[in-house]
A and B are shown apart, each in its own frame.
Chain A
């Protein structure tokens, strides 16, 4: 222990506490962002608050969640052992040394060695003092407005106190806007857009003008993220507050209500729903053109070779609602892309042109053949037997898929994705609203074993404990919404 630095202990302990909280081992109810925000200066670059009340009601829930994984307990023990390797006992030394909340603050990202401080309200001040006193270079701490502030050097604490003379983080508009509306979490992370801006500006190669092409008003967003857990799984909610209206910027589409799941087949492993990517494709083209002066000419060469224009031909195919999904298939899973189009014939014509261009550019590709699938005239392009691409447009939908069933099953009316309980339950559990800017859904209960089977078949043996510890994973859902200058997103990992 003699060689152990006190700061290292504190950092390790803080990291473990954060990890425990992320894993669901959190404390009782607290305001979003924690109480430390009431004393932390408004202009900090990074603020992370972990709820560490181990005696709280949620602890039991969290333990239940962890125990759903066969090796969950062991993982926690191993995590704690990383502390105890430093001759620190978690139960005896660490738990009493910290209070129900531990916060870490980075005052500024600028500089090679950013200053940070930690804040807590120790249950047992003596234990805390003993903890930070360990090592050759003990940490320093100081009382400040009812909190114990600690750091690796006094200068950081002094800087913290000096900055704290003004507004607090909890009072700042940037912070409240970033965490406003987020679900309460066990860990809250706040990243200041202004802090990022200051750090970027310190880089001599930084060109502020380049930011204007990729970020509204050329400003870094301020970010608020919470991570939480309950009996059913883990959740991450976040908010990015930009410097200008996102819809006007063209980076984010208007929220939409997904209707394609009423027409897509059920039992998908993964589904990505999106809407009107045409505007975003155009916007990103502009961004790439600004970032790389050669981009336009290179793109022009590719467009000339393929005979289609990204902006005039391809992007309009994505003007409506779209979906990309993965279903069971043999020997490979079926991958299908569906987009709503106004003119079936025109849409297929565009893909025909694109395929013709690809075939012309690659002599190993055979020309596509006509084929009929479930009464639909489709095209079949053999990429590398048995990998084949089928495409067709019907009923206002353009479909590109790797299996005949990808088209045939779209012609069915029963067992749609919107009827699939795995899908609907997962979306309900994740709290997906009626309108989003996009949805990602993965049926992990089906997809992970399949993935492991592929790994096994490739000759790489999957350890039994990997299978066992992935069995509790049920689903993953992520979605986003946008309004004005704010993008909100959530991700939920279902565990059973």
Chain B
């Protein structure tokens, strides 16, 4: 039933009516309690400019014209006119568990034609529990317990009264398809009741965020903009490695200083399971190497990228290091350890693009290659990965049209905490090469209009701003 409720929300996204731009603070937020764990407000004024944009985007997919039909099918509401049954806003609220332990999940809407909603609910194949609220609002839930849980949680301060919520909504783009607000407490609960577990990821920036908010909008593609409250913004960097990475990379993930997060994560993992410490010592003994010795490799900027390769794509890790000789020594020690610990593994010196490198043959069909030079250390699954990085033939990723366009479309700032770029125009056919025949052809053909995806996170005052853009053509 939860699936049906979610499908109803999605169906509403695709089918609902036309009104003006949404308010910055969704009206439905006044109906849910202040400690709502997750709140998603969907603008259901489908004939507004945002939905025109969305339709334009959907039409670029071979099955895009049938999106509404497919969603109605998922609802079991084929043939129904859903539009009048919905108001300008459809909200999904997930509350914290009540005394019974059940998680109340409800949909809220104020339909333009209440009778249309009543009629629709009566015709649905699976019943939905509904309650009529003041001012023409309806609350819908998959079962009575969830609905009662929601209704009994009311009466106090509402989410709309929470200053952080109003501030977060106010900072999101006003023109949007949907906005979401996540309370930090839910994040802690999501990690199995061990709030400390999440800390490694956020500790450098002030612990678990108090909240996260995001908006989805359509603009010649799909855009996401959001913010996460964080005690401190963290250290941003201006990515330099894309100036070295080959321009034909189909996926690039850029980061900086993984050591702090990794150390904190490890500490928490060990707290949760002390035997891990022993396992690590055993591994280190096998390798004859303390892994902490590799930490300096990861203190600077780093990137992982994927390029087309055959029969397997090439995966390369590139690291900006202070001293290439030291980096090479660390990698040599690791390779030597692997050679000793893994039967059949052989490390041998090779020359790639005029540079001394090492091939670490893990088995007869797979080798890793690594080299270090001029402040760069690289490990790759292919010889060409090292060659193209150290002696590039083509323009680098940073200057490639696809990367530049994607970054510009995502409004990515110069300084970031991390970034992800996917060249979907090349990457999707690459992936389909492995999946063809195993996935429905309709799915495959609907992936081809995807052009690129760019995601980033950047510091902004005491928050982390994030954004992304999925380009469709």
Name A residues whose Cβ lies closer than 8 Å to a Cβ of B.
328-333, 369-374, 380, 382-388, 403-405, 408, 449-450, 453-454, 456-461, 464, 467
Max count, chain B CB within 10 A of own CB: residue among A373, A384, A453: A453
Q: Is the beta-carbon distance between B62 and A459 smaller than 8 angstroms?
A: no
Residues of A within 8 A of B432 (CB): 403-404
Are A382 and B436 also in contact (CB < 8 A) when A328-B310, A330-B430, A458-B365 are? Answer: yes
Residue of B whose beta carbon sits closest to that of A328: B308
Cβ proximity bits B366-384 to A, threshold 8 Å, 1 near / 0 not: 1100000000000000111
Since A331-B434, A369-B441 are in contact, a sample of 13 more A-B pairs with Cβ atoms closer than 8 Å, ordered by chain A residue number, is A329-B310, A330-B312, A330-B430, A330-B433, A333-B310, A371-B445, A382-B437, A385-B437, A386-B434, A387-B437, A453-B384, A457-B312, A458-B365
Chain A: minimal CB distance from B375 (Å)? 27
A250 to chain B, nearest CB (A): 40
- In the docked arrangement, what's the CA distance between A382 and B383, Å? 32
Contacts of A453 in B (CB 8 A): 309-311, 382, 384
B429: CB under 8 A from chain A?
A: yes
Q: Is B236 an interface residue (CB 8 A)?
A: no
Q: Which B residues are in CB contact (< 8 Å) with A328?
A: 308, 310
Measured between beta carbons, the chain B residues less than 8 angstroms from A461 are: 361, 364
- Contact indicator B434/A330 (Cβ below 8 Å): yes
Chain A: which residue is nearest B364 at the CB level?
Answer: A459
Q: List 16 A-B pairs, Cβ < 8 Å.
A: A329-B433, A330-B309, A331-B434, A332-B433, A371-B441, A371-B444, A386-B435, A404-B432, A404-B436, A408-B429, A449-B384, A456-B365, A458-B365, A459-B364, A459-B365, A461-B361
Give chain B interface residues in 425-472, CB to chain A under 8 Å: 429-430, 432-438, 441-442, 444-445, 448
Categorize the interface residue count of chain B: 20 to 34
Q: How far is the CA of A330 from the CA of B442 in the complex (A)?
A: 20
The closest CB in chain B to the CB of A330 belongs to B433
- Provide the residues of chain B in CB contact with A403, threshold 8 Å: 429, 432-433, 436
Contacts of B365 in A (CB 8 A): 456-459
Contacts of B429 in A (CB 8 A): 403-405, 408
User: At the interface, yes or no: B30 with Cβ under 8 Å from chain A?
Assistant: no
The CA of A330 and the CA of B430, in the complex, are separated in Å by: 6
Residues of chain A lying within 8 A (CB to CB) of residue B442: 371
User: How many residue-residue contacts, CB under 8 A, span A and B?
Assistant: 89
Among A332, A403, A404: residue with most chain B CB under 10 A: A404
* B310 contact from A404, A405, A454, Cβ within 8 A: A454
Neighbouring B residues of A460 by C-beta, 8 Å: 364
Determine if B193 is an interface residue (Cβ-Cβ < 8 Å). no
Kindly report which residue of chain A lies nearest to residue B361, judged by CB atoms. Answer: A461
- CB-based contact A374/B448 at 8 Å: yes
Give every chain A residue within 8 A of B444 (Cβ-Cβ).
371, 404
Q: Say which residue of B350, B382, B435, B448 sits within 8 Å of A464 (CB atoms).
A: B350
Within the assembled complex, what's the spacing in Å between the Cα atoms of A387 and B435? Answer: 9
| B350, B363, B437: the one within 8 Å of A388 (CB) | B437
Binding site for A on B (CB under 8 A): 62, 308-313, 350-351, 361, 363-367, 382-384, 429-430, 432-438, 441-442, 444-445, 448
Determine the chain A residues whose CB is within 8 A of the CB of B448 once the complex forms: 373-374, 404, 408
For B435, the chain A residues whose CB sits under 8 A away are: 386
**Residue from B62, B310, B361, B445 in contact with A450 in the complex, judged by beta carbons closer than 8 Å:** B310
4 closest A-B pairs by CB = A385-B437, A382-B437, A459-B364, A331-B311
* Chain B interface helix/strand/loop/mixed: mixed
C-alpha spacing A459/B438, complex, angstroms: 26
Chain A nearest Cβ from B367, distance in angstroms: 7
Q: Which residue of A lies closest to B449 (CB)?
A: A374
CB <8 Å contact, B445 and A373: yes
With both beta carbons as reference points, the residue of chain B lying nearest to A460 in the complex is identified as B364
Which of B311, B351, B430 neighbours the largest number of chain A CB atoms within 10 Å of its CB? B311
User: B369 to chain A: closest CB distance in Å?
Assistant: 11
Given A386-B435, A403-B429, A405-B429, does the pair A332, B310 have CB atoms closer than 8 Å? yes
Name the residue on B nearest A445 (C-beta): B393
A454 B445 Cβ-Cβ under 8 A: no
- CB-nearest residue of chain B to A405: B429
Docked-complex contact A386 and B438, CB < 8 angstroms? yes
What is the bound-complex CA distance between A114 and B390, given in angstroms?
58
Q: Across the interface, do A454 and B384 meet the contact criterion of CB distance under 8 Å? A: no
Cα–Cα distance between A457 and B384 once the two chains are bound (Å): 14
In the complex, how many angstroms separate the beta carbon of A38 from the nearest chain B beta carbon? Answer: 51
Q: Return the chain B residue nearest A383 by Cβ.
A: B437
Q: Choose among A372, A373, A380 the residue with the greatest number of B CB atoms under 10 Å from its CB.
A: A372
Nearest CB to that of A467 among chain B residues? B383
| CB-CB under 8 A for A385 and B438, given A456-B365, A459-B365 | yes
A408 CB contacts on chain B under 8 angstroms: 429, 448
Residues of B within 8 A of A369 (CB): 441
In the complex, what residues of B have CB within 8 A of residue A387's CB?
A: 436-437
* A residues in contact with B313, CB < 8 Å: 330
A369 to B309, CA, bound (A): 28
Chain B residue at minimum C-beta to C-beta distance from A371: B441
In the complex formed, the residue of B with least CB distance to A331 is B311
User: A330–B308 contact, CB under 8 A?
Assistant: yes
Residues from chain A with Cβ under 8 Å of B312 in the complex = 330-331, 457
Kindly list chain A residues whose C-beta atoms are within 8 Å of the C-beta of B361: 461
The distance in angstroms between the C-alpha atoms of A371 and B444, with both chains bound, is 9
Docked complex Cα distance between A454 and B311 (Å): 6
Closest-CB distance, B259 to chain A (whole angstroms): 33
Residue among A331, A380, A467 facing the most chain B CB atoms (10 A cut-off): A331
Find chain A residues with CB under 8 A from B367 CB: 456
Q: How many whole Å from A86's CB to the nearest CB in chain B?
A: 36
| Inter-chain contacts of A330 with B (CB < 8 A) | 308-313, 430, 433-434
**Which partner residue on chain A sits nearest B349 by CB separation?**
A464
Question: Which single residue of chain A is at the shortest CB-CB distance from B431?
Answer: A330
Interface centre among A369, A380, A405 (most CB of B within 10 A): A405
Given A331-B312, A450-B310: A386 and B441 within 8 A (CB)? no
In the bound complex, CA of A121 to CA of B25 (Å): 101
Compute how far the CA of A457 lies from the CA of B311 in the bound complex, rounded to whole angstroms.
7
Give the CA-CA distance A24 to B178 in the complex, in Å: 71
The distance in angstroms between the C-alpha atoms of A459 and B435, with both chains bound, is 23
Cβ distance B260 to chain A, nearest Cβ, rounded Å: 36
Contact across chains for A372 and B311 when beta carbons are under 8 A apart: no
A491 to B434, CA, bound (A): 36
Contacts of B311 in A (CB 8 A): 330-332, 453-454, 457
Q: Which residue in chain A gives the minimum CB-CB distance to B442?
A: A371
Q: Give min CB distance, B64 to chain A, whole Å.
A: 11
CA gap between A385 and B432 in the complex, in Å? 11
Taking the closest CB of chain B, its distance from the CB of A456, in whole angstroms, is: 7
